[in-house]
Amino acid sequence: MRGIADLRLSNILLTVDDDRIATVTLNRPAKRNALDLATIDELVDIFSILPRAGARAAILRAEGDHFCAGLDLVEHHRENRSAADFMQVCLRWHEAFNKMEYGGVPVIAALKGAVVGGGLELASAAHIRVAGPDTYFGLPEGQRGLFTGGGATIRVAGLIGKARMIDMMLSGRLYRGQEAVDVGLCQYLVDDPEAKTVAIARTAAENPPLSNFAICSAISHMQNMSGLDAAYAEAMVAGVINTQDAARERLAAFAQGTAARIKPEA
Ligand code: 1HE
């Protein structure tokens, strides 16, 4: 795909299959996939290019036993950053995660082991999170004398509400299993998150790309608007999406009785 081969990646593996489904693999398992600045730069590059290159969906996964241990604490300690320096680091994190959330390509995350701190911030920028039996979620920032800097106050609070987020940060509470689904940290809990993630990505990739673009950018944008403006924007987006050629074809199939009906599996 356009531009992908030119990317210089060290901490992340990127592959794209014949159906234009990208697999983005965090690849620092020896450091529990902690996010150093180089990894964040690679995420910015990858999620800048995938929408323009025509990716139909992206799977976000990790090598090793843990999805992501959050901010690279050793790098942060070594760099002895000033407030201004770390503000710039956080802006780069926001750039990466905003490209994921607002890029218009469905991002489905396969989660395992620790999804903590910045790792949870990364996961929460995906559109769908799939957890397994060993997955756990935490925000240990308080214990480390830190604060979230990669968007948790927006995305994690949005998923679980501010009271639960504050509890996680103050008390170090971890969520896992069905409780993690129930509070909204993930949408699926399955034995094999990798397989489920691939299946979801394949299903999503069958939707017209323009529909997925709206689903994976417009909803997030509209959440940032007043109700009145969101309703206006929704009408504009629906005007474009619901009259696209791909929609006309699918509507014709429905009218002719050849399209699938929407029913739960028996
Ligand atoms: C790391 C990191 C890291 C591991 N930065 N190097 N995040 C945290 O507070 C979580 C910190 N990590 C852990 O609690 C544990 O490492 C895990 C539970 C994730 C995994 O435990 P374990 O026993 O499998 O591994 P380990 O022995 O602790 O670590 C293995 C190596 O990974 C070791 O390096 P080594 O060179 O000594 O072998 C660790 O130093 C390294 N490692 N986690 C750097 N996070 C934008 S603001 C966001 C703020 C936050 O994200 S705060 C949350 C930080």
Any idea what the CATH number is for the domain that residue 68 is in?
Answer: 3.90.226.10
Q: Which domain holds residue 234?
A: 225-255
User: What integer pLDDT is reported at residue 203 of this predicted model?
Assistant: 98
Kindly tell me if the per-residue pLDDT of 2 is higher than 90: no
Q: Return the active site residues.
A: 121, 141
Based on the domain organization, do 85 and 196 belong to the same domain? yes
Q: How many domains does the chain have?
A: 2
230 shares a domain with 200:
no
- Structural contact between residues 59 and 108, judged by C-beta atoms closer than 8 angstroms: yes
- Measured from CB, residues less than 6 Å from any atom of ligand 1 are 31-32, 34, 66, 69-74, 90, 93, 114, 116-118, 140-141, 144, 146, 148-150
How high is the pLDDT of residue 265?
Answer: 87
> Of 27, 28, 32, which is best to mutate to test ligand 1, by the most ligand atoms within 8 angstroms of its C-beta?
32
In a domain, 265, yes or no: no
Is residue 50 domain-shared with residue 147, that is, in the same domain?
yes
Residue 3's pLDDT band (boundaries 50, 70, 90)?
confident
Same-domain check for residues 239 and 171: no
Residue 266 is predicted with a pLDDT of: 81
Q: How many CA atoms lie within 13 A of 239 on its CB side?
A: 6
Q: Which of 36, 39, 52 is nearest to 9 (CA)?
A: 39
- Same domain, yes or no: 196 and 230: no
Q: What is the mean pLDDT of residues 220-242?
A: 98
For residue 103, being part of any structural domain is answered with yes
Q: What is the pLDDT of residues 24-82, one digit of tens each?
A: 999 999 999 999 999 999 999 999 999 999 999 999 999 999 999 999 999 999 999 99
Q: What's the mean per-residue pLDDT of the chain? A: 97
In-domain check, residue 187: yes
Does residue 212 sit within a domain?
Answer: no
Same domain assignment for residues 53 and 185 = yes
> Which residues fall within 8 angstroms of residue 179, CB to CB, at 6 or more apart?
none
pLDDT surpasses 80 at 254: yes
